[in-house]
Amino acid sequence: MDFLYLIKALGRRKWIMIFSLIVGVCGSLVFSLIRKKTYASSAQYSTGLTQTQKVSLQLTEILDINQIDFRFNNVIETFKSPTVLGMLSYDLLLHDLVSPRPFRTLTEKQKKKKEYLEANVDKSKDILNQKLLTMQVLSTYEPEEKKVWDLMNLYGYDESSLSKQLTIERIQRSDYLSVQFTSENPELSAYVVNMIGQKFQEFYNLLTGTRTKASIDKLDSLARAKRLEVDSLRKKLQDFRTKIGTPNPGDAATAAMSGLQALESELTQQQARLNTLKAQRLTVIDQLSALNNTPQAAAAAVNNNDEILQLRRSNLDLGNQLAQKGDDPEIQARIDANQRKIASLSRAAGGSGSGSGTTPVKSLAERKDELFRQKLDLEADIASTNENIGLYQQRVDEFHKTAYSGGGKEVIQNAYESDLQTALKDLEKYQSSLLNSQNLDVAPDFNFRQTLPGQPPIQPEPAHTTLIVAISGLSMFFLACLFIIILEFLDTSLRTSSIFQKETKSKVLTVVNKIDLQRRSLKESFDLAGVANGLDKASSIFIEHLRKLRFELESSGKKTILVTSTKPGEGKSTIVEALAHTFSMSKKKVLLIDANFSNNTLTKKFSAKPTLEYFSLNGQDNAIDKIWGITTLTNIINTDIIGCNEGNYTPMEILPKNNLLMNLGKVAQHYDYILLEAAALNTHADSKELAKYVDGIITVFSARNSFGEIDKESMRFLKDTGDKFIGTVLNNVDENYLDL
């Protein structure tokens, strides 16, 4: 659906849109006149939410923007809570029940309602006072309280009604809340914005006061626990000092460090002496081994003894150096090298005995005894040195423990003292917070104050009548437009030539607009000479489009033409009659044959003789003379008609042998055009039976109807006839859609 069509569719229904606009304007004017005047009063409150709390379980408190926003949201939700609004509702109802100047007065009609008649005013007052005192909401399950609740709804003081008229919001980037209430009574509006702050503060104090007492109890409990912790830490420190025997473990550690250095020096000397003794013992053992294993090598051993002794002394010196320096690879390598050389000299001495003589046995035995005595002495010295080393090592361990554990004790003592100081500071803070909270009677973290009282407004709220009227009128106008557009989208009829071609995909011979045949017949419309004041626009357009159809038929070269449709009532008879008029205007002789047995409109229109079913030549030569006998003259110049009876049958069933249709060729010699009308294709087979007798076929569609699946089947049959199918005519098109 193109944009131009929508514009024209809206233009056709412009009066509907204008009427909708007028209805919207009138309705808004009436609403503005009957609407009650409203008065809005505003109050301002300082919340104190940006201040730090006086009583806090946290030792430090940091406020950020998000935390403040959350608190403001909590306060606003508390304002709108059922308890606060309920207390306000009870106060308002109680005011109207006892005050000589109530905010709202019930009408006579309201006083006749069940809610008012069943309510006991005195009992209602008592219940309201009790609820305000205890800050409890009404229970709808209690019969008496339910009556009070119904009475409150009758006055319009229920929670839902108040919420709709109440606005609570934070003034941007400030500590203030703005409360606004709108009602029909200026005093009521001012009373609500002032009283709701009081009800809120009472509820908030009740809510947070309980939390404050719990906080104080918690602070007291924490202070007692912290005091016990301080006593425990102080006792641990005293016990530790008693255990180490000095108030300052650092002095004992210093003295132990000095003794440790001296003992380590003595221990090093003893270890060096032990290494020397072990080396000497090893030398004696080697000499004894050499004398025992090889007696002949004694002389060589004696001869090499000086060099071996020199190497052993060198090893003793190196051993002392190694004991002082600790693990030194270079010194150890030199000791190993000397040991290997000593071993080599010992073997050489054993294998190179003197050939001039042997060592005397007495001298050798004396040598062995001497070496054995040296060995025993060395072993005794080694054992004594080992005992000395053990004693020195024990003392070194004791002094080492004293020196270094003394530093650890000092660290432990410092840790005890640090924990004690931290606990003392915490205890001081708890005691300070507890002292500050002893005389606190209000919510500790909420300094709520009313900074701007609400005043009864003098002037009512602006009515904005002009704006309301404009919006209402335009809204109705656009709703009407939208409704029309939706209807157009939902409309599946063949409204325009473009939609028709898109659906049927066939050649359109012409588009015929609808005309009022009740006001003027086709005869009068085509009688151009007899029209005094000229034709109206619709008739003129109709004639011009029929002339286009006449031109298309003349251009096709077809003389016998079948006019049909897919559905009944598409306007075939009107098109056939109009074509006869247009051919008559061009001096053409036309024969109309009404073959629509289901609806013989043409026969009835021209009062034609129903002779089609009875005509048969039966081999007669004077066929034309017989045809003249069955035709009927019409009121259209040069136009004759052959009528038919109306019945439930097809041409093949009713027409005799050698009937008129089988002799159309002979008849066509005496007429310029022969136009046949047949029944609709979707419901009858007449058109399919008549198609073989004619030269061409045209189909008439009404723009008011849609194009369905059965219509597509009929169109496929027409297209299958080949060259006989001339095209289609779109009939009954709205004049505004002719060029679409």
- What pLDDT does 209 receive? 60
Euclidean distance between the first and the last CA atom of the chain, given in angstroms as a whole number: 10
H/E stretch holding 582: helix 572-585
Segment 328-372, tens digit of pLDDT: 778 878 887 888 888 777 666 554 444 434 444 445 667 777 877
Q: How far apart are the C-alpha atoms of 89 and 155, rounded to whole Å?
A: 10
Rounded distance, CA 125 to CA 596, Å? 90
CB-CB contact of 456 with 41 (8 Å): yes
Per DSSP bridges, beta strands 632-633 and 508-513 are unpaired
- The predicted pLDDT at position 217 comes to 65
Specify the amino acid at residue 732.
Answer: N
The answer on pLDDT for 156 being more than 80 is yes
Predicted local distance difference test score (pLDDT) of residue 725: 92
Contact by Cβ (8 Å): 600, 644? yes
Taking alpha carbons only, the member of 93, 100, 98, 83 closest to residue 150 is 93
Task: Taking the CA atoms of 53, 54, 57 and 60 in sequence, report the sign of the dihedral they define.
Answer: positive
For residues 157 and 154, give the distance between their C-alpha atoms in angstroms, rounded to a whole number.
8
Backbone angles phi, psi at 446, to 5 degrees: -150, 100
Asked if the model's pLDDT at residue 406 lies above 60, the reply is: no
CA-to-CA distance for 640 and 593, rounded, in angstroms? 9
Tell me how far apart the alpha carbons of residues 203 and 192 are, in angstroms, rounded to a whole number. 16
> Using the 8-state DSSP alphabet, how is residue 63 labeled?
-
86-100, 306-320, 541-555, 717-731: lowest mean pLDDT where? 306-320
Q: Distance of alpha carbon 449 from its chain centroid, rounded?
A: 40
- In angstroms, the CA 630 to CA 627 distance is 5
Quick one: tokens of 151?
A: 């009475």
**Greater pLDDT, 260 or 378:** 378
Residue 28 has pLDDT above 80, yes or no: yes
pLDDT at 306: 66
Which one of 3.40.50.300, 3.90.1150.10, 3.30.56.10, 3.90.79.10 gives the CATH number of domain 494-737?
3.40.50.300
Structure confidence by residue, pLDDT tens digits, 558-604? 999 999 999 898 889 999 999 999 999 889 999 999 999 988 899 99
Give the confidence band of 409 by pLDDT, cuts at 50, 70, 90: low
One-letter amino acid at 80 equals K
> Are the C-beta atoms of 677 and 641 separated by less than 8 Å?
no
Q: What is the predicted pLDDT for the residue at 245?
A: 58
Report DSSP letters for 619-678, one per residue: T-S-HHHHHHHH-EE-SSTTEEEEB----S--HHHH--TT-SGGGHHHHGGG-SEEEEE-
pLDDT 10s digits, 366-379 = 777 787 778 777 88
Task: Please give the Cα distance from 491 to 14 (Å, whole number).
Answer: 18
List, for residues 616-644, the tens digit of each pLDDT value: 877 666 666 777 888 889 888 889 999 99
Instruction: At 315, list the tokens.
Output: 């090893």
Count of other CB atoms within 10 angstroms of residue 561: 20
State the pLDDT confidence band at 250, using cuts at 50, 70 and 90: low
pLDDT digits (tens, 9 = 90+) for 435-453: 666 544 444 455 778 888 8
Q: Which of 202, 194, 191 is nearest to 93 (CA)?
A: 191
123, HSE (Cβ side, Cα atoms, 13 Å): 11
* pLDDT reading at 668 higher than 70: yes
pLDDT at 9: 72
Residue 318 has pLDDT above 60, yes or no: yes
Q: What pLDDT score was predicted for residue 59? A: 44
Question: What span, in angstroms and rounded, lies between the C-alpha atoms of 723 and 74?
Answer: 85
Q: What pLDDT digit, counting tens, does each position of 290-305 carry?
A: 777 654 444 444 456 6
**535 conformational bin, left if phi > 0, alpha if psi -120 to 50, beta if neither:** beta
Tokens coding 694: 């004619």
pLDDT at 38: 86
If you average pLDDT over every residue of the chain, what do you get? Answer: 80
Nearest to 631 by CA among 645, 611, 646: 611
Given a cut of 80, whether residue 45 has pLDDT beyond it is yes
Ordered by start, the domain boundaries in the chain are: 3-216+444-452, 250-431, 494-737
